[in-house]
A and B are shown apart, each in its own frame.
Chain A
């Protein structure tokens, strides 16, 4: 019987040592609903004349590199928030999301995410919903409206529902103060993983709204910066965290400046 006592103690001190399935979704309260919590934290801060945020992404299985990113971003004093451009995880496992969240929590600034194609694998969709929240959402800060969109069309078999352009149109129309609009999503419209039937509609929707100034993305693992459709909308793609790079987006009342950083 003396052999049973240690194992009982082990069970009591070690409930976190048990895992039931790689696809389980067991979370602490402080790992849930992070989008809403972090938006509240961002908006609590008084808006200055200049808004500045970092755009990074594709941290999938690159934890050492994510740690290096946090170290780099913490050298700044005046960043309002960090945007993760998607592919938080590689395999859609809750564990990966937790590891990234733990690392990103070490940053001095709150972070927001858009969902990437890898984040939708296995139980990833449910995991993202629980940890962060909705796949499409928007928020306002200062003179800007940020629209965060799920553009991972291939994960929905190009069925025409993703990106949800109806929702995007409603978001663009619901802008009574004519705030400048920045649309952020994982896959850029000119990528093969974006629904080809929706590419033109997306680009037209953005260019038809004079408030839209930027369309920001990740996914391609290298920087790209172009007025891709020659229609007044600037498309910028950030690189992967693996390549030790990110972008700093600085917003004045009407204009955006983007600077790439390699660390």
Chain B
């Protein structure tokens, strides 16, 4: 089984490599469609991500690695997050600019650290704590503006996006405390750049 996996990986790598080499052939589906860099948004101080555009070019599925240095966040935390973004509308302003007024999506973020648990450790009776401290499920709405470089270019476009997001535990706190917590208490802002690749 291990051998098979190895051979599969080897073939995959070769395939990806050849695909990258030749600009004339259609690129492999394995090569990501874009790379992203995000500031804030509860997935890191800075996160870098990559992913695919699919679903009639309205869905993006991305994987991010986020970093929060101790000097900024009070603790050094590395996290990985997977995010989906659905953007139903595109408005072309001119040849150079396109506005994508509305995006929405869910994300799941995992924080590394011995203080975070995914499964309840043995010393607790079943159901003692019902959530995983390492995993946060969240959602966001946002929008973006796209600056088109050109379909023949190595980087086809730059997108500048913002997102307003919240996550499970704070959202739950909010709905249970309508008199005390405000919507602004649970939503935070993220800013990012997307580079659409050839």
Contact = CB atoms under 8 A, between A and B. Distances in A.
Nearest to B72: A20
Interface in B161-182: 162, 167, 169-170, 172-173, 176-181
B41 A19 contact: yes
A61 B172 contact: yes
A123 B75 contact: yes
A14 B189 contact: yes
A22 interface: yes
B66 A21 contact: yes
B181 A63 contact: yes
Interface stretch (A91-99, A166-174, A198-206, A212-220): A91-99
A199 B178 CA distance: 41
Contacts of A126: 74-75
Interface in A113-136: 121-123, 125-126, 130
Interface size class of A (residues with CB under 8 A): 35 or more
A18 B40 CA distance: 6
Contacts of B167: 22
Contacts of A7: 160, 162, 191
B8 interface: no
B123 interface: yes
A92 B116 CA distance: 11
Contacts of B66: 20-21
Contact of A21 (B42, B123, B191): B42
A208 interface: no
A141 interface: no
Contacts of A157: 121, 123
Given A22-B136, A26-B73, A121-B129, A96 B41 contact: no
A25 interface: yes
B75 A121 contact: no
B12 interface: no
A18 B42 CA distance: 8
B185 A122 contact: no
Nearest to B43: A21
A221 interface: no
B167 to A, nearest CB: 6
Contacts of A21: 42-45, 66, 68, 73, 77, 79, 111
Contacts of A130: 74
Interface size class of B (residues with CB under 8 A): 35 or more
Nearest to A68: B179
B41 A61 contact: no
B162 A23 contact: no
Interface string B106-143: 00000101011000010110000101010010000000
A91 B42 contact: no
Interface string B72-86: 111101010000000
Contacts of A154: 123-124
A123 B40 CA distance: 19
B63 interface: no
A261 interface: no
Given A17-B189, A91-B133, A157-B123, A63 B180 contact: yes
Nearest to A61: B173
Contacts of B148: none
A91 B167 CA distance: 13
Contacts of B65: none
A253 interface: no
A24 interface: yes
Contacts of B160: 3-4, 7
Shortest 3 CB-CB contacts between residues of A and residues of B: A25-B74, A18-B40, A63-B180
25 contacts: A14-B189, A18-B41, A18-B188, A18-B190, A20-B45, A20-B72, A21-B43, A21-B44, A21-B45, A21-B68, A22-B42, A22-B170, A23-B116, A25-B75, A63-B173, A63-B179, A64-B179, A99-B173, A99-B185, A103-B180, A121-B133, A122-B116, A122-B133, A157-B121, A157-B123
Interface of A: 3-4, 7, 10-11, 14, 17-27, 61-64, 66-67, 90-96, 99, 103, 121-123, 125-126, 130, 154, 157-158
Interface of B: 39-45, 66, 68, 72-75, 77, 79, 111, 113, 115-116, 121, 123-124, 129, 131, 133, 136, 145, 160, 162, 167, 169-170, 172-173, 176-181, 185, 188-191
